[in-house]
Amino acid sequence: MNASIKAPKPIVRVPRDDLSPVRVEVASLSKSFGPQTVLADISLSVAPGEIFTIMGPSGSGKSVLLRHIAGLETPTRGTVTINGQDPQLPATRDRFALALVFQAGALFNSLTVYENLALYPLERRIHSKADIHQRVMRALHILSIEGAAHKLPAELSGGMKKRVAIARALVMEPQLILFDEPTSELDPIMSATIAEIIATLKEQIAITTIVVSHDRDLALTISDRVAILHQGRLRAVEKPAALRQSPDPVIQDFLNPKIDIRHPRFKQLEASHE
Ligand SMILES: Nc1ncnc2c1ncn2[C@@H]1O[C@H](COP(=O)(O)OP(=O)(O)OP(=O)(O)O)[C@@H](O)[C@H]1O
Ligand SMILES: [Mg+2]
């Protein structure tokens, strides 16, 4: 054999005998960055197949919590498990094909949509080329963006980029998908479309979904349960109907914010314009 010709890397099949959605357990999770405690004693359990939304004011620790579930952060105290396994272990992430859809999409600008979708599975050599092609086409179909397969990210609208980012996560057929602000920067119609896509994903593939969002309509419409995070603590975990009825003023203020133009901050603004 000619030594200069590289033998193709073997296809590494990750054992995925059980393709059902997974359970996520967060137990007494605390996280500090230096002196700042960002998450304080969070415990929650997300059931297989559930759509679970995490809401809360800016800076309340939502993204940090999501990153722990994705295995991208080490808890200061407490644990996170996916079907009993530690998400920080690459083997766990591979086994459940855990997918995180970042707010900004994080697409490669020099690659077409098709190439963006195929890149990770091709690199990991978890599936054959023909299999990857089928998976990519199926993901494009689920998100109704087949027509964009050969476009570059710069040629897409913001809403299409979001859809491509979701499609890329679906290629690996994840049993757990995590979304950070999937509808931010989108108009209300595209936001509703993305919410519908998230809601119908579980009819197309067996999947557990965790969404971090400020989008009240999305949270109260498509979620099985909603958690409210406030100053690093869990303020409530409720079904949407119960949350709407919550007597907690913090939750009501968050769900139904009112603009009070007599508030001192508007006076300051007025003064600064004079
Ligand atoms: N790597 C880090 N190092 C230090 N502090 C961090 C780090 N990541 C997050 N924080 C801090 O943790 C707090 C919570 O951040 P997080 O990103 O979770 O907020 P969030 O609820 O997602 O807010 P937003 O709605 O604005 O996205 C913030 O005060 C942030 O500055
Ligand atoms: Mg965030």
pLDDT digits (tens, 9 = 90+) for 101-141: 976 668 899 999 999 999 988 887 777 888 899 999 989 98
Q: Which domain holds residue 234?
A: 24-98+174-273
Counted domains in the chain: 1
Whether 33 is in the pocket of ligand 1, judged by its Cβ within 6 Å, is yes
C-alpha of residue 68 to centroid of ligand 1, in Å: 12
In a domain, 28, yes or no: yes
Which of the ligands is closest to the CA of residue 57? Answer: 1
Residue 197: pLDDT over 80: yes
The whole-angstrom separation of Cα 173 and Cα 194 is 18
In a domain, 261, yes or no: yes
Residue 1's pLDDT is what?
45
Probe ligand 1: pick from 64, 68, 214, 235, max atoms within 8 Å of CB? 64
In a domain, 135, yes or no: no
| pTM attached to this predicted model | 0.86
The whole-angstrom separation of Cα 82 and Cα 69 is 8
User: What b/e sequence results for 60-86 when a residue is b if at least 16 CB atoms lie within 10 Å of its CB, and e otherwise?
Assistant: bbbbbbbbbbbbebebeebebbbbebe
pLDDT digits (tens, 9 = 90+) for 25-73: 999 999 999 999 999 999 999 999 999 999 999 999 999 999 999 999 9
Q: Which of 222, 205, 180 has its CA nearest to residue 21? A: 205
In a domain, 118, yes or no: no
Residue 3's pLDDT is what?
46
In a domain, 126, yes or no: no
Compare 226 and 159 and report the one with higher pLDDT: 226
84: region left, alpha or beta (phi > 0 left; psi from -120 to 50 alpha): left
Which of the ligands is closest to the CA of residue 65? Answer: 1
C-alpha of residue 273 to centroid of ligand 1, in Å: 32
In a domain, 142, yes or no: no
The residue-averaged pLDDT of 182-205 equals 86
The residue-averaged pLDDT of 211-219 equals 92
C-alpha of residue 71 to centroid of ligand 2, in Å: 16
Residue 54's domain is classified under what CATH number? 3.40.50.300
Which of the ligands is closest to the CA of residue 61? Answer: 1
In a domain, 116, yes or no: no
Probe ligand 1: pick from 30, 31, 33, 39, max atoms within 8 Å of CB? 33
In a domain, 145, yes or no: no
Which helix H or strand E contains 228, and what residues bound it?
strand 225-230
State both tokens at 40. Answer: 């304080």
162-166, 226-230, 263-267: which has the minimum mean pLDDT?
Answer: 263-267
Residue 89: pLDDT over 60: yes
